[in-house]
Chain A
């Protein structure tokens, strides 16, 4: 079975632009979470969606938004990009929204110039 897939793998943007990152969960998984991993740090939680509803939001500004589609895939949108948004953005899926382990994709590397 395919794992979590993310697209694109790499992206270069300039300050002020917006970006959309995409994630397809493992088949049968209904929960998708997004994390930001800045170089040299552990991942930071951004959002979790379960059955198309937002279940949790981390400490990120309103420039960050996300949604989950009926097929459980998800998009992460970031507006008015800042240099500090440069990071690896990871998507994780799980069966449910509680204790089931999360399975991660390989991430999208976003570079802001």
Chain B
């Protein structure tokens, strides 16, 4: 079975500051890793994914995440945040080779202040 731990329930940060949202996972098999973002009263939007290959993956809006197999982590980073990045961020895993059931963490609330 897989599980996901998001180490921070809330992360307050000032605009233009860097941010890191931490995610650790547990699995006895290979996994795919995802970050989703949820804005108020909306569904989840895929931010970025790791399936295979380069361990550093990037999104079109400046976020990046690095897969670290030895530390079983997939932390999300952004060098300079904007007010519009305020949202709930969810880390998720699915078992590679199996059907794509997503196991989510509890979420991290990113609050960007001016």
Contacts and interface: CB of A to CB of B under 8 A. Distances in A.
Contacts of A33: 100-102
A44 B49 CA distance: 19
Given A42-B90, A43-B44, A90-B44, A101 B49 contact: yes
Interface residues of B, number: 27
Contact of B100 (A41, A44, A99, A107): A99
B43 A4 contact: yes
Contacts of B42: 106-107
Contacts of B41: 106
Contact of B106 (A42, A96, A102, A105): A42
A101 B46 contact: yes
Interface residues of A, number: 30
A56 B101 contact: yes
A58 B101 contact: yes
Contacts of B111: none
Given A42-B107, A104-B44, A106-B42, A99 B32 contact: yes
A75 to B, nearest CB: 18
B11 interface: no
Contacts of B103: 45
Contacts of B97: 98
A106 B107 contact: no
Given A43-B44, A90-B43, A106-B43, A48 B99 contact: yes
7 contacts: A4-B43, A42-B105, A43-B102, A48-B99, A99-B51, A101-B34, A102-B100
Interface of B: 4, 32, 34, 36, 41-46, 49, 51, 90, 92, 94, 96-107
Given A48-B99, A106-B41, 15 more contacts: A35-B104, A42-B106, A44-B104, A45-B103, A50-B99, A55-B99, A56-B101, A92-B44, A99-B32, A99-B100, A101-B49, A104-B36, A104-B45, A105-B43, A107-B43
Interface of A: 4, 31, 33, 35, 40-45, 48, 50, 55-56, 58, 90, 92, 94, 96-107
